[in-house]
Structure 1
Amino acid sequence: MTDRGARTTGTEPVRTGPIRYARAERFGRPRAVAAGDTRPSTGEICPQPASRLDAVMGPPRDDLPQGEDCLHLTVTTPAADGGARPVMVWLHGGGFSSGAGILDWYDGGALAAQGDVVVVAVNYRLGALGYLCLDGVSEGNLGLYDQLEALRWVRDHIAGYGGDPGRVTVFGQSAGGISIRLLMEMDEARGLFHRVIMQSAPLSLTGRSRADAGALGRVFAGHLAARGKSPADADHAELLDAQRETAVAHLLRSGSAMEPPFSPVEGVLAGAAPGRNVRGLDVLYGWNADDMTSFPGQEGDPAELTARMYAAPLAELGGALEQAGARVHAYRLDWRPAGSALGATHCLELPLLLGGRAAWEGAPMLGSAPWEEVDALGAALRATWLGFVRTGIPGAAPRQLSCSAGPVPPARPHLT
């Protein structure tokens, strides 16, 4: 990807970026880019290992540099004019350890073209660089503060790309959905967005205790110390090696293959129960019917595991949000592509919403479904999301999507 500047070609949306929205020292909070700083973006993404979901999504086809100057975003707009269009800000998943908003998977061109909206996709720090909690080194939750800084960038700059900073929807999947759950409760984020879409957020992983996070931080530092290094001076390869070793130690301690070793830490929430900042917020949340088939090695029926890890916690949150004054809608995606044993698995909605054929064709989760089917269902699902973005009420749902008002999970249809 190259920085092409804010311009349009006819009516075709143009994806601009990567744009640096902030800078940060290692283990420091992000700082907004100073006015007049015109140094070009490096286009880096946060140093990371291969994703554990490569077997589901396929590996990304982008070849982007990895480095700590990674606080970048892209903007896709139909026109850099005074159109004051609704804005959609994307927070990617990846277990807080992999992924990047500027990957071609997350190109917002289809949404921008279909809905006349502006789409922003955000990088944030991952793994130990984003979520290490260690006394005297890192406070934790830095990746979350990166996302907050990106939303401030949107507030301050998106009008120059044809967007309306008063009509911002934050949408995110998996770890990105968890991030949205936390941002809803942060006083600093109040007023930076007006609607949210949480896609397959495993909410039981929302907040690790500070004591547990600190213990894992000491394990991480111990692995580096054995190499004669510290978190401050280790290179990226050494940091990633220590992350892997910490993940093994965490798995032995917790028995959870789902829970990453570095993730948000308790203490960022403004209150114990959801609701402090959500009165008047429009919320759409949901999951894929077979989310848990993406995670091999789990004991139990995938449908029951999906209900426990996704459906029940999301419905509970939806009820709490509604009681607190939010307007809530729920969905469940039931599309099961031909030729895939994974069914309606985790991440399956992503190629229906973002990216395009070049980015997604051949992804294992799509099985043998022809791209024409993916494209047609994608247009229908995008229409559902775009209706919500414009009105707070989801647009007409395709038959493969169950959608309802309120926090009650949609009834499971019998699809062949």
Structure 2
Amino acid sequence: MTRSGTGPARAGLSDTGPSGTGLIRSGPLRYATAERFGRPRAVPAGDTRPAGGEICPQPPSRLDAVMGPPHDSRPQGEDCLQLTVTTPARDDGARPVLVWFHGGGFSSGSGLLDWYDGGALAAEGDVVVVGVNYRLGALGYLCLDGVSEGNLGLYDQLEALRWVREHIAGYGGDPGSVTVFGQSAGGISIRLLMEMDEARGLFHRAVLQSAPLALAERSREDAEALGRIFAEHLAARGESPWTAGHAALLDAQRETAVAHGRRSGSTLEPPFGPVAGVLGRDGAAFGGNVRGLDVLYGWNADDMTAFPGEQGDPAELTALTYAAPLAELGGRLVRAGARVHSYRLDWRPAGSALGATHCVELPLLLGGRDAWQGAPMLGDTPWEEVAALGAALRATWLGFARTGVPGAAPEPLHCAEGPVPVP
């Protein structure tokens, strides 16, 4: 349904919403452009080129056995620095804004997927929801001398937040009330944005969902070693990182992942991700960035059941990988002057052997029945139960986005002011 009276039409922008919702979902919108292995550049004012809804070239997700594969298909390409905006109205409502950074181990996913439709949040909370694409895998996180400095996906996210600051008022949002929320790799990204001088003032609240902070960064030395392995695999095929096609890039990325697994012994840690020391920081930015920030963080009680290749008891692995590093961050945030709330989600859908696994909160917050149909992690739980618990969990997140204090927590969610003690 095309909406009228919501501002001038622009090439590449579709203002549509499901009939009867009263919502407008705009996009995909291009927020930046980038050459391969180059930093993103803001889209110039007046740029009217259509955005084709591309997502970063990627392999199938390693979590298909948990989430199921996405039901919607998107073209893959490097013109992927795009986002969507879902809003109740394009007016001067100055609504709180929630900006979503998806997970996927820095190798898969997209903010454009139906999984991450923010319509329910926007409608129930009278807020504006932004879903962001960023570069993944080697295209986003290769660290190789003379080719890529690393952390380009983080710089993409930074540019998306700048776009929100400059443009979101035109979509009914308040650039002075921005909550970033992200799951897994998206939560790690938010954690690292807290360290970037350039990110100061671009967001005012933050939600970190099941962010495995123990894997937040790797040393530059290790990242460069992996970059050389990647380049060697391409060279063996007569290819260069600069000119290789996407299939060749993904093949070399897969082989690098195998080599990294042998070196690290971990099936959880991705071969390409954020690199320490590349952001040009010494820790001094953190205090200034988080002072006065409202932060909600937490994990799912059985996060590690999603990763059966990891050896050990899932409960102990969950505490080690998620709970303990998040609690350590919570203490550091409090000492720096942030206001902290924490949570643990214990929801175990009927008929699922995975329990309160990694990603299980996503259908409660984003997307709808069609997007999540058949997701293994939901077992045989009726959608009506998912929808009812989802409405309660969304109210908790929306309360936090509006006031910095979570709303009333539904039964399987345990919230606390300050860091949650590690079980």
TM-score range, shorter chain: over 0.9
Q: Is the 8 A contact 2:201 2:289 kept in 1?
A: no
Q: Which residue of 1 aligns with 2:5?
A: none
* Separation (CA, whole Å) in 2 of partners of 1:31 and 1:4: 19
* Separation (CA, whole Å) in 2 of partners of 1:61 and 1:7: 20
Q: Which residue of 2 aligns with 1:347?
A: 359
Shift of 1:7: 6.0
* Separation (CA, whole Å) in 1 of partners of 2:213 and 2:152: 19
Among 369, 391, 406, the residue aligned to 2:418 = 406
Letter in 1 for 2:262: L
Q: Is the 8 A contact 1:185 1:276 kept in 2?
A: no
SS in 2 for 1:216: helix
Q: Which residue of 2 aligns with 1:124?
A: 134
Shift of 1:307: 0.4
The reply on whether 1:203 has 2:213 as its aligned counterpart is yes
Shift of 1:379: 0.2
* Separation (CA, whole Å) in 1 of partners of 2:14 and 2:282: 41
Q: Deviations over 1:239-269 (max 9, x none)?
A: 0000000001101111111110000000127
Among 157, 162, 178, the residue aligned to 2:188 = 178
Return 10-19 or 228-237, whichever deviates more.
10-19
* Separation (CA, whole Å) in 1 of partners of 2:178 and 2:20: 25
Q: Which residue of 1 aligns with 2:50?
A: 40
The reply on whether 1:157 has 2:179 as its aligned counterpart is no
* Separation (CA, whole Å) in 2 of partners of 1:12 and 1:351: 22
4+ runs deviating over 4 angstroms? 7-11
Shift of 1:408: 2.9
Letter in 2 for 1:256: S
* Separation (CA, whole Å) in 2 of partners of 1:259 and 1:12: 42
Instruction: Specify every segment of 5 or more residues in structure 1 that has no aligned partner in the other structure, as ranges.
Output: none
The reply on whether 1:5 has 2:18 as its aligned counterpart is no
Equivalent positions of 1:231-242 (< 5 A) are 231-242=241-252
Shift of 1:277: 1.5
Q: Is the 8 A contact 1:185 1:269 kept in 2?
A: no
Letter in 1 for 2:321: M
Q: Is the 8 A contact 1:11 1:79 kept in 2?
A: no
Q: Which residue of 2 aligns with 1:317?
A: 329
* Separation (CA, whole Å) in 2 of partners of 1:62 and 1:377: 24
SS in 1 for 2:176: strand
SS in 2 for 1:277: helix
TM-score (norm 1): 0.96
Cα-Cα RMSD: 1.4
Among 263, 267, 286, the residue aligned to 1:253 = 263
Q: Which residue of 1 aligns with 2:281?
A: 270
Q: Deviations over 1:317-368 (max 9, x none)?
A: 0000000000000000000000000000000000000000010021000001
Q: Is the 8 A contact 2:141 2:150 kept in 1?
A: yes
Q: Is the 8 A contact 2:343 2:420 kept in 1?
A: no
* Separation (CA, whole Å) in 1 of partners of 2:234 and 2:349: 44
Letter in 2 for 1:100: S
Q: Which residue of 2 aligns with 1:388?
A: 400
Instruction: Specify every segment of 5 or more residues in structure 2 that has no aligned partner in the other structure, as ranges.
Output: 3-11
SS in 2 for 1:275: helix
SS in 2 for 1:87: strand
Q: Deviations over 1:284-337 (max 9, x none)?
A: 000000000000121111111100000000001000000000000000000000
The reply on whether 1:135 has 2:119 as its aligned counterpart is no
Shift of 1:272: 3.7
* Separation (CA, whole Å) in 2 of partners of 1:53 and 1:408: 27
Equivalent positions of 1:85-104 (< 5 A) are 85-104=95-114
* Separation (CA, whole Å) in 2 of partners of 1:56 and 1:247: 20
Letter in 2 for 1:330: S
